């Protein structure tokens, strides 16, 4: 099995080097140029092997995510809304859904969560009006910042809010890391297993899960970074192929990657130079998907009008 540093369950499965793994169910399908991969981890040993908690992971993947076309963005946001709606637990619709934007606003590849919160339609404070109450679902949002800035763990803040608000679900948004550089900005992962803040940039914090906060947690993320050691390994592999070397160097490359990961370069991460546009576009798509899923009684025009 290759050394893997990725937040995407589909990549963990790909890099396991097995066509099937006991306790892992994988399915693929395509819809309107978007590739869907569902990974379900049902056994503890499979969870340990892939380094991912048991649960369901859905990845939407398409190069169209990197295209700045309104029609494409709306179409993918609509697909995301449908999948998010399926993951939301049934329950009292009057109870709020809490949207949590994890990450650091001051670091562009880590700012996806706060950028999504800025575009989320929050409604909990306006539901006193009878007309509003019939049309809107209760939504509240927070961007708790990072421990190094606030001195407070995100888990502690969310835990306190859950006790106060009793939300029916929490939707967490965070930046992720990828194993494949081509997935940066072109994949969206949804999972019902919760999330570990800072995992995408190697700064693991306390996990936000149903067990830790007391409410179902759905996480949504987009890869914005890749580890430098992984990129170096892929570069050497590509150069070998370009030079006509068709021998299997997988073992040597894996050993090189492990060596790099154990040194200073192992903690270095790389992000595209157009990361500003990638994050802003991804935030718009995710926020649109969340707004559609949480406000099924409103049209896109009505959501946009209420955001002004």
pLDDT digits (tens, 9 = 90+) for 134-192: 789 999 999 999 888 899 998 999 999 999 999 999 999 999 999 888 899 999 999 99
Distance of alpha carbon 285 from alpha carbon 283, whole angstroms: 6
Which CATH code is given to the segment(s) 9-224+276-307?
3.40.50.1450
Residues 6+ apart with CB under 8 A from 99: 116, 117, 120, 122, 139, 140, 141, 142, 170, 171, 173, 290
% of the chain with per-residue pLDDT over 90: 56
pTM over 0.85: yes
Strand pairing report for 169-178 and 139-142: unpaired
pLDDT at residue 223 above 50?
Answer: yes
Strand pairing report for 97-101 and 55-61: unpaired
Give the start-to-end residue ranges of the domains of the chain. 9-224+276-307
- Angle in degrees, CA 163, 168, 174, rounded to 5: 85
DSSP-derived letter for residue 264 is G
3-state secondary structure 25-86: EEEEEEECCEEEEEEEECCHHHHHHHCCCCEEEEEEECHHHHCCCHHHHHHHHHHHHHHHHH
Mean per-residue pLDDT, 106-120:
96
- How high is the pLDDT of residue 118? 97
Nearest CA among 95, 8, 18, 126 for reference residue 59: 8
Q: Which letter, b or e, does each residue of 269-280 get, where b requires 16 or more Cβ atoms within 10 Å of its Cβ?
A: bbbbeebeebbb
Distance of alpha carbon 50 from alpha carbon 12, whole angstroms: 6
Unique residue bearing structure tokens 């914005």? 224
- How high is the pLDDT of residue 1? 44
Unique residue bearing structure tokens 């869907």? 36
DSSP structure string for 183-216: GTTTEEEEESS-B-TTGGGT-----B-HHHHSS-
Q: Please, which pLDDT band fits residue 67 given cuts at 50, 70 and 90? A: confident
Q: Please, which pLDDT band fits residue 250 given cuts at 50, 70 and 90? A: low
């Amino acid at each position: 099995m290759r050394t893997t540093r990725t937040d995407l369950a589909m990549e963990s499965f790909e890099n396991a080097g097995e066509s099937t793994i006991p306790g892992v169910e994988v399915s693929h399908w395509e819809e309107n140029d978007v590739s869907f991969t569902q990974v379900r981890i049902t056994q503890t040993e499979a969870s340990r092997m892939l380094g991912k908690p048991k649960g369901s992971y859905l990845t939407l993947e398409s190069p169209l995510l990197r295209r700045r076309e309104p029609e494409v963005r709306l179409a993918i946001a609509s697909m995301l809304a449908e999948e998010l709606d399926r993951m939301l637990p049934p329950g009292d619709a009057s109870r709020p859904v809490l949207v949590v934007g994890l990450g650091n606003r001051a670091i562009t590849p880590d700012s996806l969560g706060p950028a999504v919160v800025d575009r989320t339609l929050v409604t909990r404070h306006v539901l006193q009006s009878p007309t509003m109450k019939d049309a809107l679902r209760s939504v509240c949002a927070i961007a708790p910042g990072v421990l190094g800035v606030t001195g407070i763990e995100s888990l502690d803040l969310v835990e306190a809010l859950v006790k106060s608000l009793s939300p029916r679900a929490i939707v967490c948004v965070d930046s992720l890391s990828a194993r494949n550089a081509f997935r940066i900005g072109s994949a969206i992962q949804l999972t019902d297993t919760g999330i570990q803040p800072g995992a995408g940039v190697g700064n693991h914090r306390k996990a936000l899960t149903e067990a830790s906060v007391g409410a179902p947690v759905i996480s949504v993320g987009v890869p914005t970074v890749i580890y430098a050691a992984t990129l170096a390994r892929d570069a050497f592999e590509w150069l070998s192929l370009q030079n006509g070397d068709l021998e299997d160097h997988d073992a040597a490359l894996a050993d090189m990657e492990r060596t790099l990961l154990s040194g200073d370069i192992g903690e270095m991460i790389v992000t595209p130079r157009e990361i500003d546009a990638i994050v802003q576009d991804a935030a718009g798509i995710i926020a649109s998907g969340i707004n559609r899923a949480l406000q099924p009684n409103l049209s896109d025009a009505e959501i946009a009008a209420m955001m002004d």
